[in-house]
């Protein structure tokens, strides 16, 4: 997103290195501080929702929240100040998330009625992605994402079959069991079908008539059979992806690929895989 930095003064450059960078010791310390602040802030929001805790530590929660909001506000302004392209940053995904992390508190101060909006503070958890993006787990996440992307059409076909099946099963159960046994409408019956086919099985709605139980058994066995399909799809793509990942190493001598990650010598010609002679 961000092209070449333009007209940065010394302070901006230093701040940019600390806040956006991750190679300098100061940048690493800032990243660590940010992760701690995000996790503490999100934990405070979560614990605040427990009414016993809120009653006992109400004032403490408000103070903590104000401190975090001030900290994140200063950080946001600093990012805007030191970024070579402030507008680009403000419009980027992370820029919007950074703003969403502080806005709810200010809005709740202005309009006390909008308490629900305070939940948006939980979006701060997304900020953690920025820090993690910089580290080594990104290549692992890429293998997973690529497998899912390669399998996306198959997953769509699979999801379409699920929608078809749950609609038909839901309507059938609505006709068989009826409102008297909890299946009060087709949408609710479809909800039951999803609860059953994914093997969650709350038991808040369950068939009572013998015919309904027989159909439910069919739904379950179908779900059981269906669970194999996406597992197989993603698994098969992953096997391929992993194989490709392994094959990135190439012998300098015979140019054949497919070496294990712990191999030191080419398995085809015996040349070293490390020296480029």
Q: Which of residues 1, 109, 159, 211 is near its own copies by CB under 8 A?
A: 159
Residues contacting 149, CB < 8 A, separation 6+: none
Contact 171/186 with Cβ under 8 angstroms? yes
Query: For residues 186 and 209, is the Cβ–Cβ distance under 8 A?
Result: no
**Whole-angstrom distance, CA of residue 101 vs CA of residue 99:** 5
The span from the CA of 210 to the CA of 110, in Å, is: 58
Indicate whether 160 belongs to the interface with its own copies (CB under 8 A). yes
* Shortest Å, Cβ 181 to its own copies: 11
Select from 18, 34, 45, 108 the one that contacts its own copies (CB under 8 A): 45
Alpha-carbon gap, residue 122 to 75, rounded angstroms: 18
Smallest gap, in angstroms, from Cβ of residue 63 to its own copies? Answer: 20
In 3D, which of 28, 127, 120 has the Cα closest to residue 65? 120
Contact stretch for its own copies (CB under 8 A) within 11-19, 61-69, 95-103, 161-169 = 161-169
Residues within window 60-89 making contact with its own copies, judged by CB under 8 A: none
Cβ atoms of residues 97 and 123 within 8 Å = yes
Applying the rule CB under 8 A, the residues between 22 and 41 that interact with its own copies are: none
Determine the 3-state secondary structure of 80 from DSSP: helix
Q: How far is the CB of 86 from its own copies (least distance, A)?
A: 28
Tell me if 238 contacts its own copies by CB under 8 A: yes
Q: Does the protein bind its own copies through residue 213 (CB under 8 A)?
A: yes
Q: Which of 33, 62, 77, 175 binds its own copies (CB under 8 A)?
A: 175
* Near its own copies by CB under 8 A: residue from 10, 110, 180, 225: 225
The least CB distance from residue 27 to its own copies, in Å, is 22
């Amino acid at each position: 997103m961000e092209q070449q930095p333009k007209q940065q003064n010394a302070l901006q450059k230093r701040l940019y290195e600390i806040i956006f960078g991750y190679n300098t010791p100061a940048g690493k310390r800032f990243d660590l501080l940010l992760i701690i602040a995000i996790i503490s802030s999100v934990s405070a929001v979560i614990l605040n929702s427990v009414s016993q805790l809120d009653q006992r530590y109400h004032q403490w929660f408000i103070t903590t929240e104000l401190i975090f909001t001030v900290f994140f506000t200063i950080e946001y302004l600093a990012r805007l100040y030191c970024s070579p392209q402030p507008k680009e940053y403000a419009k980027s995904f992370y820029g919007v998330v950074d703003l969403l992390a502080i806005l709810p508190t200010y809005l709740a101060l202005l309009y006390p009625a909008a308490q629900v909006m305070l939940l948006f503070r939980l979006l701060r958890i997304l900020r953690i992605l920025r820090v993690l993006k910089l580290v080594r787990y990104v290549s692992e996440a890429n293998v997973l994402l690529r497998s899912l992307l390669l399998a996306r059409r198959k997953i769509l076909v699979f999801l379409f079959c699920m929608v078809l099946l749950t609609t038909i099963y839901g309507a059938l159960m609505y006709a068989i069991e009826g409102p008297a046994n909890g299946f009060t409408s087709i949408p609710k019956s479809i909800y039951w079908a999803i609860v059953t086919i994914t093997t969650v099985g709350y038991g808040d709605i369950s068939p009572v008539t013998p015919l309904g139980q027989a159909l439910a058994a069919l739904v379950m066995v179908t779900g059981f059979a269906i669970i194999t399909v996406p597992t197989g799809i993603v698994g098969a793509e992953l096997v391929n992806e992993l194989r490709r990942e392994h094959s990135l190493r190439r012998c300098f001598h015979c140019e054949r690929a497919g070496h294990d990650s712990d191999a030191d010598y080419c398995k085809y010609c015996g040349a070293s895989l490390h020296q480029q002679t």
